[in-house]
Amino acid sequence: MEDWTKAESAKAEGNKFFQEGKYAKALAAYSMAIELSEDDDGLDSLDGVSKSKNPSVQIYYANRAFCHIKMENFGSALVDATKAIEAKEDFPKGWYRRGTAQMALGRPKEALRDFMQLCKLAPNDKDARDKLKQCQKQVNAEKFAKAIGCEKTKPISETVNVEQMPVDASYTGPVYVSGACTSDFCQQLMEHQRKELVIAKKFAYQIVLDMIEMLKTSSTLVDIEVPDMGEVTVCGDVHGQFYDLLNIFSLNGIPSEQNPYLFNGDFVDRGSFSVEVILTLFAWKLAYPNHLHLARGNHETRNMNKLYGFEGEVTKKYDEDLYQLFCEAFCLLPLCHVINQQVFVVHGGLFSKDDVSLESIRKVNRDCEPPDEGLMTEMLWSDPQPGRGRAPSKRGVGVAFGQDVTENFLKVNNLKMVIRSHEMKEEGYEIEHDGKLVTVFSAPNYCDQMGNKGAFIRLDGKTMTPKYKSFAHVPHPNVRPMQYANPMLGQLMGMA
């Protein structure tokens, strides 16, 4: 009884942290509740299955699964939701959480089975029925896409006719001239978008089409050369936080030949100004192709865009064809960069096997959606872990890798350090693996609730010594994050 009381207290504490957006602390509290609920002997005498004396343990697992979903740890969410179901098979939230995790992992067929079971358990729950319909819609859409894919239809970039797109006579915004993008245009575009105005559809299309043509000449791994007297700035995830992107340029200067940038993936999703972010970055890339570098992140993918808002935002502000154009461009983005033959920059992290060479990375075919496994997927999804060795990823994709993995990769390729992004950090950056690996994250007060700082890193060409700059968030118009996200990632039936 005493452990049950302590477990309930830990759950209540977890709920409080969750409501405050402190998901890591909530996770720890729910873990404590689960630990307090474990059976003393640990095994049921009949079937050898671990049991709990606490009749509420399925709630603790479901709540912890909710935390993992919020933190994008979908693999761990799947495990916890399954444990909630095993603890109490007729517990609706267990099926709800598992279906949501399956969807986030790109497994709509498995999610459909979970939501069907959810609706059997909660036949009068309108939200459950809505989720089932959304899931069925996605499964059917994928079947349709697969069917028409067999017909080898041409990509949108080869069929769209930009010349026939009219520009309204009342339009007073910046005018894009294909093949002649300048710093002045980029600054006009940023100011126009800062006022919550959209650039004319014709010009948005042309920017993305020109970007596609430029990226076709790029490669999976791009080498960047910085002169001894020069510097380069590396930024992490921006995630649709356009006004914080403007603040980066205010603090650190706009891109130029003398002030080059590398943006390390996850430009879009979550924040509701992703269109503004990506058009701005694409425009600067067109203006300074050798001094503004862009790497693909795990959110520059169809599966993430469908869930976390970019698809919905583009189709709301423009149309479906422009979204398809963005998808083409994303598939052509480089996966990683090497600066001055010393610093490896990648969105996610390293690999499930040792001795991966830069040459083997160069040979990776990037022009596709990420497969279930392999070098490309690990570069987009992996995370560092303390200590040594490897472990399954809490995200359900990629791998968690230790200091020895980082050291092996650097030694094999005669490199100095790894810079990666992909994870929010309280100060906007974190130094790990004895200084050989750094995470940089450039979306402050992530999703308007995390309270973290953003950061960027400046590296000088002569010594490649990192200098870190943290910064706070700035105000933005009253449009909430995830405004355009899939309803599947809504309230998720709340906490228990």
d(CA 47, CA 237): 47
Closest residue by Cα to residue 273 from 240, 305, 295: 240
d(CA 472, CA 455): 9
Two tokens, residue 77 = 């969410």
Residue of 239, 299, 433, 476 marked active site: 299
Question: Sign of the CA dihedral 262, 350, 221, 277?
Answer: negative
* φ, ψ (nearest 5 deg) of residue 377: -65, -40
Which amino acid is residue 310, in one-letter code? Answer: F
Give the count of beta carbons closer than 10 Å to the beta carbon of residue 287.
20
Residue with tokens 């356009």: 242
User: Could you give the count of Cα atoms lying within 13 Å of 351 in the half-sphere of its Cβ?
Assistant: 15
Q: Do 11 and 63 touch, CB atoms closer than 8 A? A: yes
d(CA 423, CA 429): 9
Distance of CA 177 to the CA centre of its chain: 32
The secondary structure element, H or E, covering residue 263 is: strand 261-263
Active site residue 192: no
d(CA 92, CA 95): 5
Please list the residues that pair with 469 across neighbouring strands: 456
Two tokens, residue 457 = 């890193």
Question: What does DSSP assign to residue 199?
Answer: P
d(CA 263, CA 486): 26
Active site residues: 299
